Amino acid sequence: MSEEFEFQENDDANGMEYEEFEEEISSEEVDRVLETLETTMAGVESESIRQCLEVAYNEVFHLIYDEVDDADDDFGPEAEAA
């Protein structure tokens, strides 16, 4: 199974910028993806991979829940434990 995926990546203040487009995304789908990412992060030993997954978690979170205070940028499972 070797499929190649290509996406454009540009540097910005967060390190990555993806082309935005209008799409209906349900909160149920976002919640399901966030739960999957949390489960995956819990089973990862590599700190580098965990950091990448946390970035993905935050990006997905902000697709629906972007009205959250920007001062609290970490929404990953580690923040919930704190």
| Contact partners, residue 77, CB within 8 Å, separation at least 6 | 38, 41, 42, 57
- Give pLDDT, residue 22: 78
Please state, rounded to an integer, the average pLDDT across all residues of the chain: 75
Annotated domain spans of the chain: 27-81
Cα 64 from Cα 60, distance rounded (Å): 8
Give the pLDDT band (50/70/90) at residue 24: confident
pTM above 0.95, yes or no: no
